[in-house]
Amino acid sequence: MRRPGEWLGRTLAYLWSGWGAVASLLLFLALWDLGNRLYGSFILPSPLEALGALGELLAHGALQQQLLATLFRALAGFAIAVSFGTLLGSIAGLSMTAAMAARPLVTVLLGVPPIAWIVLALLWFGASDGTPIFTVAITTVPMTFAAAMQGARTLDGDLRRMARAFRAGPWLRFTDVYLPHILSYVFPAWITALGMSWKVVVMAELLSTPDGVGAGLAAARINLDTAQTLAWILAVVGTLLVAEYILLEPIKRHLERWRSDEH
């Protein structure tokens, strides 16, 4: 059991290491601002204008409401991908035959462009929550499936035999031998899948639903409101950045500690 002080120190150190990322993001804002100076606010509103529009959306409460709707859909699709994709992938990976048979299917599923899935989903689910959730799930399942399959395929036979030799029970073998190994494959895929869900959900919403960030973007497009468009983009990217660096990255570090040291 580590002291809470040490935990706090680690957390602060982690948060502080974000300044490098902040610096390069700010340099990107400068580049954006340069674009605004060159092409004018109609083509590319300045970062401050976009932030102002974002503030306005926030003040009206529109932002929180739509973000929640989008978040729900993205996470629902993502949850399906994580649970089904990972589970089925791990099972498939345990059998050489299943893995061989599944590989072309993964390639096919990954090859279908998300926009094609959206059209199908529209036909099947109409303008309901089902369309974005289905699209997210079907585009991200192959990623988690493939990664889990790869993880299960490459399980170290020696380690497995050693665990058996030490009479480790099935549960212990699962949590201490198989799981860390598979997780090291699956986790990066989850992160990629989450990023993908977040992008796909917005695209699906743009074409299908009356609410959500995608619908907000569609409205901004109709009104030729570039600033508001950028505000929505900022909201989407900002949420993703927060999720990635505040939530996923610490989990990833925690899970991968066994790789670097003895903890």
Interface contacts to other proteins, rule CB under 8 A: 12-13, 16-17, 19-20, 22-24, 26-27, 29-30, 33-34, 37, 46-48
| HEC assignment per residue over 72-98 | HHHHHHHHHHHHHHHHHHHHHHHCHHH
Q: Is 3 helix (H, G, I), strand (E, B) or coil?
A: coil
Query: φ and ψ at 185, to 5 degrees?
Result: -85, -40
Q: Which two tokens stand for residue 64?
A: 């929180």
CA dist 147 and 93 (Å) reads: 9
Residue 61's φ and ψ, nearest 5 degrees, are: 85, -5
Instruction: Give, as one character, the DSSP assignment of residue 256.
Output: T
In angstroms, the Cα distances linking 121 to 67, 72, 250 are 21, 18, 35
Find the shortest distance in angstroms from Cβ 91 to other proteins.
Answer: 43
Distance CA 32, CA 49 (A): 12
Chain-centroid distance, C-alpha 218:
22
Q: Residue 57 CB, nearest distance to other proteins (Å)? A: 20
Q: Least separation, in Å, of the C-beta of 14 and other proteins?
A: 10
Residue number with CB closer to other proteins (34 or 246): 34
Comparing CB distances to other proteins, the nearer of 5 and 111 is 5
Q: Of 34 and 116, which CB lies nearer to other proteins in the complex structure?
A: 34
Of the two residues 12 and 94, which places its CB atom closer to other proteins in the complex? Answer: 12
**Which one, 12 or 242, has the nearer CB to other proteins?**
12
At closest approach, how far in Å is the CB of 47 from other proteins? Answer: 7
**Closer residue to other proteins (CB): 34 or 68:** 34
Task: Tell me the two tokens of residue 186.
Answer: 């699956």
Q: Cα(first)–Cα(last) distance of the chain, in Å?
A: 11
Shortest Å, Cβ 228 to other proteins: 19
In whole angstroms, the minimum distance from the beta carbon of 39 to other proteins comes to 13
Give SS3 for 154: coil
